[in-house]
Amino acid sequence: VQLVESGGGLVQAGGSLRLSCAVSGSTFSINLMGWHRQAPGKQRELVARISSSGVSTNYADSVKGRFTISRDNAKKTMYLQMNSLKPEDTAVYYCNADLSLYAGHHSSSWGQGTQVTVSS
């Protein structure tokens, strides 16, 4: 089972990008999912997370009102819509998922990361 991210790139300040994270392979369930980011010289930080149903979401204060996390369980894919991007949003963005391969099983999986660069 792998998490495959896409959608990163270079954008000017004020622009938008949409990241995708697709879960490939067979799973029993895909539970809590989230986006994290790591800027050069900084620790990895949580950006947003979403419950298994998609009903509950949480955001870092720095992205509230600008980023929207969502998921399509039929497609086994999570998204991060990023609007009004700022240079300080520049980082490698990683998706994370709590996967169950069978009932009662839980494992944390990470994507390979996708670079987001916001120019001023």
Mean pLDDT of 25-41: 95
Q: Read off the pLDDT band of 57 (50, 70, 90).
A: very high
Q: Which helix (H) or strand (E) holds 78?
A: strand 77-82
User: 92 and 115 in contact (C-beta within 8 Å)?
Assistant: yes
In this prediction, residue 85 carries a pLDDT of 98
Q: What is the mean pLDDT of residues 51-74?
A: 98
In the numeric block, which tokens belong to residue 22?
Answer: 């697709």
> What average pLDDT does the structure give for the chain?
97
Unique residue bearing structure tokens 């980011």: 37
Q: What is the structure's pLDDT at 76?
A: 97
